[in-house]
Amino acid sequence: MVQKLSPSYQPRRSSETTLYAVLREHLDRFVQTVEAADHSLPSFVLKELAGFLRCGQLAYGFVRQACSSCTFERLVGFSCSGRGFCPSCLGRRMVEGAARLVDSILPHAPYRQYVLTLPKPLRFAIAYNPTLCSRIISIFVNEVFRWQKKKAKLEFDLDSVAHAHCGAATAIHRSSSALSLNIHFHSAVMDGVFVLDQVTDTLRFRALAPPTRDDLHDITCRIYARTRKLCIALGCDWEEPESIDNTFEEDEPLLAGCAQSSMRGTALLGDHAGQSLLPFARPALHIPADLRQRLACGGFDLHAARRVRADDRKGLERLCQYLLHPPLAHDRLTLTDDGRVRLKFARPWKNGVDAMVIDPINFIARLVPLIPRPGTHQIRYHGLLAPRAKLRARVIPHREEPVGTRQLSLLRKNDAPVNHSKLDASSSSKLPKLQRMAWARLLQRMGGEGHAGWDMESCPDCGAQLVVVGVTLEQDEVLRALSVRGLLPGSVLDLSPARGPPRGQLVFEFMVAVSSARAA
């Protein structure tokens, strides 16, 4: 019954994937090739590329789970915590981020997805400029809010647009389906406004009519005009290439080369450097209406067709997962007979092409622009949902103390739960800080509607509870434990020393303490 209701968790075999095979066989050659050209990879890029080869690998340490009733045990490897292309780590980020948005941040209201795409030169300008990227996101969301407030004032006969309050969460996407550099923004915007009654001091949500094609065109043109004005003031006008500061290309020539070749669809390295990698596309005989509109708005395009009802929280969670989805999935990659990588697109192009074939060295070069700089946030909150918004505590869902997180309540000075109903507008900073959700909870939540998800806490043999009995990090102990269980990989002796656990040893002491408390 346990297995039927909740399938047992099976540790992933990352070493059997095409992505792992390509990086393991060709990463060293890629590094040597770029170093031979007097270039070097930034440390954060090299760290993520090499870290992927350790993701989920038991040879670099593991957590050991054991059944409290029978002899079943399971070894779970550590993740690389990559932020650029790792399907597993970004899959966790997608599920955890969507769950957090729905449970603790997004108010009960209908939502509309707005997607803003940018002209190619501007994508290159903001790829490694987080400040400019943030300011363009602010322009984008503020123009959508401006339209909503203006419409709310007319529809609801408000005295001022200041009485209408909007909210949105925006995610930054760095790639297209073909893994080319394509910076664009996905935003979940409340499809309406909260109206503040000045007499009773109450907030009431009022839905708005959907934007028309003319409304979207006006919003897009205003975004283009304001962005162009900002870039001219900063000396990075993408429509005047001679006025652009080339400091980034001089300081990071390899990053700049990877980004430019990725956008152009050309090979960066090898005998075919500079030649096109993309399949042949037939030229269009006529210009579609949407393309004419993009050309009229300077290459900007705004899409806002998808909407989720206020009572469809499952649908909202699926929308949030789409906002945070990884750029790459393992099943989209295969190896051809001649050793090249075949990348299948998420959906076929209009001319019927559904895949491209690329040599391994240039495939790794296309992964480089997908990795964001360390310390740059990939999701932003605006309006009522901004971290320091005065009315934020009055509209977000009232969350209870986190359950199944990595922080133990017994280590807190005050274990009393927070009563959100007594929080006023000035006490939003007193909300408890959100912690990372436990991996076991995320696996159970990944099943979605009509499915129990994967169960990581129950024994697949007898259904009893699994407990964490130890964490193995030292390489000698790792090799000994894997050798006893017959799991020792043949190439483990060639591996570099095992890295430390993510986020420090204290995280794992928490896990052991939680499991010990449950067993007691």
**What pLDDT, in 10s, does the model give residues 438-467?**
666 666 666 544 445 566 777 888 878 888
Average confidence score pLDDT of the chain? 79
Q: How far is CA 326 from CA 77, 83, 264, in A?
A: 21, 9, 22
d(CA 191, CA 308): 9
Measure CA 45 to chain center: 17
Higher pLDDT residue, 427 or 381? 381
Q: What are phi and psi of 204, to 5 degrees?
A: -135, 130
Q: Please check whether residues 74 and 122 belong to one and the same domain.
A: no
State how far the Cα of 280 lies from the Cα of 298, in Å rounded to an integer.
26
487 or 55, which is more confident?
55
In this prediction the pTM is: 0.81
Say if residue 64 is in the same domain as residue 138: no
Distance, CA of 261 to CA of 343 (rounded, Å): 17
Alpha-carbon separation of residue 422 from 42, 196, 237, 249, 384 (angstroms): 49, 19, 49, 53, 19
**Closest by Cα among 516, 472, 359, 460 to 60:** 472
Judge if 330 and 461 occupy the same domain.
Answer: no
* pLDDT recorded at residue 292: 54
- Write down the pLDDT at residue 111: 97
Residues 97 and 72 in one domain: no
- Mean pLDDT value of segment 354-378: 91
Q: What is the pLDDT of residue 468?
A: 84
Residue 405 CB burial class (10 angstroms; 0-12, 13-18, ≥19) = middle
Mark whether 305 and 196 lie in a shared domain: yes
Q: In this prediction, what percent of the chain has a pLDDT beyond 90?
A: 39
Domain boundary (336, 355, 382) is at 382
Q: Is the pLDDT of residue 101 over 70?
A: yes
Predicted local distance difference test score (pLDDT) of residue 417: 37
Most confident of 6-15, 96-105, 480-489, 511-520: 96-105
- Number of structural domains (the chain) is 2
pLDDT of residue 434: 52
Q: Check pLDDT > 90 for residue 206.
A: yes
The verdict on 191 and 106 lying in the same domain is yes
β-strand partners of 76: 63
Query: Rounded CA gap, 128 and 130, in Å?
Result: 6
Please check whether residues 58 and 111 belong to one and the same domain: no
Whether residue 383 is predicted with pLDDT greater than 60 in this model: the reply is yes
For CA atoms 440, 442, 446, 448, the dihedral sign is positive
Mean of the pLDDT values across residues 337-352?
87
Q: Which residues contact 198 (CB under 8 A, 6 or more apart)?
A: 163
Alpha carbon distance 113, 211 (integer Å)? 12
pLDDT over 60 at 369, yes or no: yes
End-to-end, the C-alpha distance of the chain in Å comes to 25
Cβ atoms within 10 Å, residue 402: 20
- Determine which of 64-68, 214-218, 426-430 has the lowest per-residue pLDDT on average: 426-430
The encoded tokens of residue 96 equal 């955890």
Please count the helices (runs of H) and the strands (runs of E) in the chain: 16, 15
Asked if residue 417 is part of any domain, the answer here is no
Domain membership flag for residue 425: no
Domain boundary among 339, 362, 382: 382
Q: What Rg, from alpha-carbon coordinates, does the chain have? A: 25
Contact 251/320 with Cβ under 8 angstroms? no
Q: What is the mean pLDDT of residues 202-213?
A: 92
Which residues lie below 8 Å from residue 28, measured CB to CB, with a gap of 6+?
Answer: none
Lowest mean pLDDT among 47-51, 214-218, 396-400, 434-438: 434-438
55 and 150 inside one domain: no
Question: Residues 467, 485: one domain?
Answer: yes
| Whether pLDDT at 520 is above 60 | no
Residue with tokens 């979940």: 188
Does residue 283 belong to any structural domain of this protein? no
How does DSSP classify residue 280? P
Rounded Cα–Cα distance for residues 396 and 339 (Å)? 51
344 strand-pairing partners: 355
DSSP 276: B
d(CA 300, CA 291): 10
Per-residue model confidence (pLDDT) at position 271: 75
Q: Residues 367, 504: one domain?
A: no
Runs of H (alpha helix) within 245-357:
247-251, 253-264, 289-296, 313-323
Q: Are residues 70 and 137 in the same domain?
A: no
Residue 400 lies in a domain: no
pLDDT for residue 73: 85
Q: What is the mean pLDDT of residues 69-74?
A: 85
Q: Is 358 found in the same domain as 493?
A: no
Alpha carbon distance 267, 278 (integer Å) = 10
Q: Would you say residue 285 has pLDDT above 80?
A: no
Q: What is the extent of the structural domain holding 177?
A: 87-277+299-382
Give the pLDDT of residue 446: 65
pLDDT > 80? residue 288: no
pLDDT at 303: 92
d(CA 405, CA 415): 15
Element (H, E) at 89: helix 87-100
